[in-house]
Structure 1
Amino acid sequence: MDSALTTIGLPIALGIIMLGLGLDLTLADFRRVARHPRAVAVALGCQILLLPALCFGLVVLLDLPALLGIGMLLLAASPGGTTANLFSHLFKGDVALNITLTALNSVIAVITLPVITGLAINYYDRGDSVSMPLIEVVKVFALILVPVGIGMLIKARLPEFAASMDRPVRIGSAVILAILIVGILADQAENVGDYLAKVGLAAGLFCALSLLIGYAVPRAFGIVEGQAIASSMEIGVHNATLAIFVAVEVLDEVEISIPAAVYSLFMFAFATLWGMFISRRVGTRKDPVRA
C-alpha cells in the first residue's frame, strides 16, 4: 500500500494522535507512579509480560500464518492508545492512573516493541524477508516521543488551549484510525475475507481476554475498582495506529497490519460493552482506600 495514505497520511496521523496524548500529560503524571506503585506495577506487568505471552499462545494454538502471527504480536507489544483514557473516563475508571500508564507504556514500548516483534520474526524464521532496521525504529519513536513532548509543552504553557483541543483531537484520532482501517481493507480487498477468517477469531479472543485480564489481575492483587477499570482499558485498548504504522512503514508488509485493523473493529465494541458491565459494579461496591 505504497500511497499517499501511508507515506504522508499515516505519519501525520500518528503524530496527531501522540500530540493529543501529550496535551493530556504533565510531569506529575510520571511522578504519580510513586503514589500508586502497586497499581502501576501490576498493570505494566500485564501489559509487558502477560499480554505478549497470551498472544503468542493464541497465535500458536490457532496456527496463524507467519505474517498475521507477527502482526498479532506487534499489536500485543503496542502500548495503550489515547482512546483508552476516554473509555476509562466514560466507565468510572481512575483516569489519572490511566494517563500515567499510557505515558509510561509509550516510553517503555521504545524497547519492548522492537524486541517482541523481533522475537516473533525470528520464531517464524522470516528474518530474510521482514526486518526492523535500527534507524527505522529510532524514526518511529521519534515520531512518537517528539509530538508527545510538544503536547506536554503546550499543556504547560497554554493549559486552556490544551483543554479546548482535547475533544477535537480525540474525535480526530478516532476518525483517523477509521480511515486507516478502511484504507488497509480496501487495499487488501481481494484477501479480506480470507484474512478475517484466519485472524478474526484470534483478534476477537485477544481483545476480550486483554480487557478481562486487565481488570481481573489487578483486582486479584487488591487494586481498587476504579484503578482496575483504568488498567483494563489501558491493556485492552491498544494504539492500533502505531502497530499499523510499524507494519506498513517499517516492516513494509501490509499483511502484518491486518491484525491491528481487525482488532480495532472488535476493540471499540468490546471495550464499550465491557465498560458498561464493570462500571455498574462501582456504585454497588465500596472498596477500602489502598496506597
Structure 2
Amino acid sequence: MEFAALALPFALGVIMFGLGLDLTPGDFGRVAKAPRAAVIALACQLLALPVLCFGLVLLFRLPPLLAVGMMLLAASPGGTAANLYSHLFRGDVALNISLTAINSVIAVITLPVITNLAIQIFQPGDLTVGLQFRKTLEVFLIVLVPVALGMTVRAIRPGFARAMDKPVRIASIVILAIVVIGAAASSLDLLTANVLRLGGVATAFCLLSLGIGYAVPRLLKIEKPQAVATAFEVGIHNATLAIVVAQSVLAQPEMALPAAVYGILMFPLAAVFGMIVTRQRAAA
C-alpha cells in the first residue's frame, strides 16, 4: 500500500505532464472565440454525465463502494486519449485540447464535490466524510501541478516538448495498463463477484457518454468535426485519475475497480464508435 501511495500519483503525474506538453495558454483563450461548442461540451460533461451515471448505478444495483467508484469516474475529466481518437476520426483536435485543459482545471472542484455527494448518498462502510479541503488540495496537486510543469517546459523548450510528445503518449498508455492491472489485482475478489455488473455498467456508461457527446451538439447545430471532438472528450475519461484518487487520496482500492474495468473497455468501444461516425459522415 505504501508503494502504491507513492507510485500511483507519480504515474498520474507523468500522464498529466504529457498533457501539459500539448498545452499553451492560448488553448484556454481559444474557447472564448468560439464558446458555443465548448459550453455544450462542458454542460454534457459536468451536468449530464453525473446524472446518467447515477441512473446506471441504480439500474445495475452496484454495491456502495463500486457505486461511488463509478461516480468518481463520471466526475473525472476527459483523458488524453480523447485527443488521439479525435485526430484519428477527423474531429476538431484544437477543441479537444482546449476542453481537456479547461476540464482538468474545473475537475479540481467538481470531482471532490460529486464524489462527496456520492459518498453521502451510498454510505460505503464507515467512509462518510468525503473529500474535505486537505483531500481537495491533494487532487489539485496531482492534477494541475504536473500540467503546469508540462506547459512551462513547452514554453521554454518547445523543441523538446515536440520530441517528447510521442514517447510520453506511449508511456501514458503503458502506465494506464499497469495501473488498471494493479487496481484489478488489489481487489480481485470483489472484481470477480461483480465482473458482469461492472462490465455492463462500464460499457453502457462509455457508449452512452460517447452518444450524448455527439448527439447533443449535432441537435444544437454544431459542426460535425466539433461534435466528434465533443463525443470523445465526453466519452473518454481519465481512468488513471479516478484510480489514483480512489487508492491514494481516499485509500479505498475497491473504488478503483469501475475505472479499471472502464479503462480496459473504453479503447475498443471508442474505436467502434469512431468508425460508425466516420462512415455516417462519408455517407452524408
1:148-207 superposed Cα distances (whole Å, 9 cap, x missing partner) = 111111111211111111111111001001001111222223333212123221111001
2:86 maps to 88
User: Residues 71 and 247 of structure 1 are in contact (CA less than 8 Å); yes or no, is this contact kept in structure 2?
Assistant: yes
Give the 5 Å matches for 1:54-203. 54-126=52-124, 128-130=126-128, 131-203=130-202
- Counterpart residue number, 2:50: 52
Query: Paired residue for 1:221?
Result: 220
Q: Distance in 2 between matches of 1:102 and 1:48?
A: 13
For the 8 Å contact 1:78–1:242, the answer to whether it is kept is: yes
| 2-structure distance, mates of 1:117, 1:7 | 20
CA RMSD after TM alignment? 1.3
Q: CA deviation at 1:126?
A: 3.9
Aligned counterparts of 1:105 and 1:23: Cα–Cα separation in 2? 16
Contact 1:25–1:152 (Cα < 8 Å) also in 2? yes
Q: Which digits, 9 at most, give the CA deviation of each residue in 1:5-41, with x for residues without a partner?
A: x222211111011101100001110111112211000
- Whole-Å Cα distance in 1 between the matches of residues 142 and 254 of structure 2? 22
CA distance in 1, matches of 2:175, 2:14: 9
**Aligned residue number for residue 270 of structure 1:** 269
Tell me if the contact between 2:138 and 2:249 (Cα under 8 Å) persists in the aligned partners. no
Partner of 1:36: 34
Read off the aligned partner of 1:46 and give its amino acid letter. Answer: C
Match of 1:11 among 1, 9, 12: 9
TM-superposed CA distance for 1:142, in Å, is: 1.2
Distance 2:68 2:91 in 1: 32
Shift of 1:102: 0.3
Gaps of 5+ in 2: none
Counterpart-to-counterpart distance in 2, 1:113 and 1:163: 30
Report percent identity of matched pairs. 55
User: What is the CA–CA distance in structure 2 between the aligned matches of 1:43 and 1:230, rounded to whole Å?
Assistant: 9
- Cα shift at 1:115: 0.6
1:283 is displaced (CA, Å) by 4.2
Task: Please tell me whether the aligned partners of residues 183 and 243 of structure 2 are also in contact (alpha carbons under 8 angstroms).
Answer: no
- The TM-score normalised by the length of structure 1 is 0.94
Give 3-state SS (helix, strand or coil) of 2:78's partner: coil
Q: Report 1:226-237 matches (<5 A).
A: 226-237=225-236
Q: How many residues align?
A: 283
Aligned amino acid, residue 49 of structure 1: L
**Counterparts of 1:19 and 1:283 in 2: how far apart (Å)?**
36
Name the structure 1 match of 2:255: 256
Shift of residue 146 of structure 1?
1.0
Equivalents in 2 of 1:65, 1:192: separation in Å? 11
Kept after mapping to 1: 8 A contact 2:108/2:143: no
Higher mean C-alpha deviation, range 123-132 or range 109-118: 123-132
Structure 1: stretches of 5+ with no match in the other structure: 286-291
| Corresponding letter in the other structure for 2:272 | L
